[in-house]
């Protein structure tokens, strides 16, 4: 057994059915008197209903969160925070809303409560990705780690089956890369394998019956575990490419992860046999990259970058950006290999 460092992140997690009803109690527990509720435009009504449950402890809503956390949206939200003298943030929704809460917290140090309604997992991390002028950059800071996360399985029952599939594979991506992270540890590896197993078991069931409460519970549990993995260790090529693609072409976040993951794992697989063995055990069979590709098909997720809006001419640009500021990866980044990876993902071919 090799030595390792494991640092438990200081977040309070509440998980179950009907846990949303505990929100006023958690707001009071943090001493908030003027909380601001954040959401995307599509979830504006949910944000208003949430705000109404908080009586005098809420100063309204800001329903302008967008994918990839553009800095101009954060600036607009900060004006609302200042104008209403907010003393805390409540984010309801997926990664876009969580990202906005984190961006505000980084600049103000306001406490956050996150109520996830997708399987994004970012609520469990001290990581913030922001987009400026078509380029997405990330940073780690405990200032952006939410103080409280309320997982309510019931709130995911209305998540469309298609988005459930892509969001769930996005979560699996966190665990896959955690299994071969440079700073990985055995505790995180246990969570990663269990998270992949739970989601891989649940997502096809949800695709067949979105109201399957047991499957929804498994999926949200898996997303929690995978998010905790993302928060505990560093990531590699897969996340690098997805951030580039999202920032450069404004591609949908979860769908991009679902498309790229099998190809990124195939690129690294030969160098990380122990990680691949764990992934295959969780997925229930050999050839982990192909099984992830097949899982995307089973949940009707897109499998080609061209189908989510990436231009073919952008393939070379992605390779340029990946090599311009390379992050750690178990296999060295080579231009030809990266271009082949993106080409296959663009065309929707099985991973090589």
pLDDT of residue 28: 96
Q: Residues near 346 by Cβ (< 8 Å), separated by ≥ 6?
A: 304, 305, 306, 310, 312, 315
Query: What three-state secondary structure class fits 2?
Result: coil
Class of domain 12-156: alpha beta
Q: Residues near 30 by Cβ (< 8 Å), separated by ≥ 6?
A: 88, 111, 113, 147, 148
Q: What is the pLDDT of residues 91-109, one digit of tens each?
A: 999 999 999 999 999 999 9
Largest CA distance in the chain: 59
Can you give the pLDDT of all 352 residues of the chain as single tens digits?
Answer: 678 888 778 889 999 999 999 999 999 999 999 999 999 999 999 999 999 999 889 999 999 999 999 999 999 999 999 999 999 999 999 999 999 999 999 999 999 999 999 998 999 999 999 999 888 888 999 999 999 999 999 999 999 999 999 999 999 999 999 999 999 999 999 999 999 999 999 999 999 999 999 999 999 999 999 999 999 999 999 999 999 999 899 999 999 999 999 999 999 999 999 999 999 999 999 999 999 999 999 999 999 999 999 999 999 999 999 999 888 999 999 999 999 999 999 999 999 9
pLDDT of residue 7: 77
pLDDT of residue 199: 98
CATH number of 161-347: 1.20.1090.10
Domain ranges of the chain: 12-156, 161-347
Query: What's the CA dihedral at 196, 202, 203, 206 to 10 degrees?
Result: -160
Q: Residues near 280 by Cβ (< 8 Å), separated by ≥ 6?
A: 286, 287, 288, 291
pLDDT of residue 321: 95
Cα 98 from Cα 144, distance rounded (Å): 10
pLDDT of residue 1: 65
pLDDT of residue 114: 98
pLDDT of residue 279: 98
Query: What three-state secondary structure class fits 292?
Result: helix
Cα 70 from Cα 129, distance rounded (Å): 9
Q: Given strand 35-38, what is the order of strands in its sheet?
A: 12-16, 148-152, 112-116, 88-93, 35-38, 58-62
pLDDT of residue 268: 98
């Amino acid at each position: 057994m090799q030595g390792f460092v494991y640092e438990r992140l200081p977040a309070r997690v509440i998980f179950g059915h009907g846990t949303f009803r505990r929100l006023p109690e958690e707001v009071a527990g943090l001493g908030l008197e003027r909380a601001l509720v954040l959401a995307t435009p599509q979830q504006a009504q949910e944000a208003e209903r949430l705000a109404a449950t908080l009586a005098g402890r809420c100063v309204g809503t800001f329903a302008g969160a967008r994918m990839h956390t553009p800095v101009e949206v954060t600036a607009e939200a900060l004006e609302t925070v200042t104008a209403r003298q907010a003393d805390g943030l409540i984010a309801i929704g997926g990664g876009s809303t969580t990202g906005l809460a984190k961006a505000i917290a980084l600049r103000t140090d306001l406490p956050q409560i996150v109520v996830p309604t997708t399987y994004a997992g970012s609520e469990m991390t001290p990581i913030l990705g922001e987009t400026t002028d078509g380029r997405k950059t990330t940073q780690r800071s405990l200032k952006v780690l939410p103080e409280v996360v309320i997982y309510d399985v019931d709130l995911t029952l209305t998540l469309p089956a298609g988005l459930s599939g892509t969001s769930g594979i996005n979560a699996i991506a966190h665990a896959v890369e955690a299994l071969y992270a440079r700073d990985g540890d055995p505790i995180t590896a246990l969570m990663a394998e269990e998270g992949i197993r739970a989601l891989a078991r649940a997502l096809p069931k949800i695709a067949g019956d979105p109201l399957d409460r047991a499957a929804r519970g498994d999926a949200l549990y898996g997303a929690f575990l995978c998010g905790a993995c993302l928060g505990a260790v560093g990531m590699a090529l897969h996340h690098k490419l997805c951030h580039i693609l999202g920032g450069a072409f404004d591609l949908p976040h979860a769908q991009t992860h679902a498309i790229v993951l099998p190809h990124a794992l195939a690129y690294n697989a030969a160098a990380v046999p122990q990680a691949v063995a764990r992934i295959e055990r969780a997925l229930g069979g050999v050839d982990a990259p192909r099984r992830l590709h097949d899982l995307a098909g089973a949940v009707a997720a897109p499998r080609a970058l061209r189908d989510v809006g990436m231009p073919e001419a952008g393939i070379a640009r992605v390779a340029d950006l990946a090599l311009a500021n390379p992050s750690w990866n178990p296999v060295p980044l080579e231009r030809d290999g990266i271009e082949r990876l993106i080409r296959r993902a663009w065309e929707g071919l099985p991973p090589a």
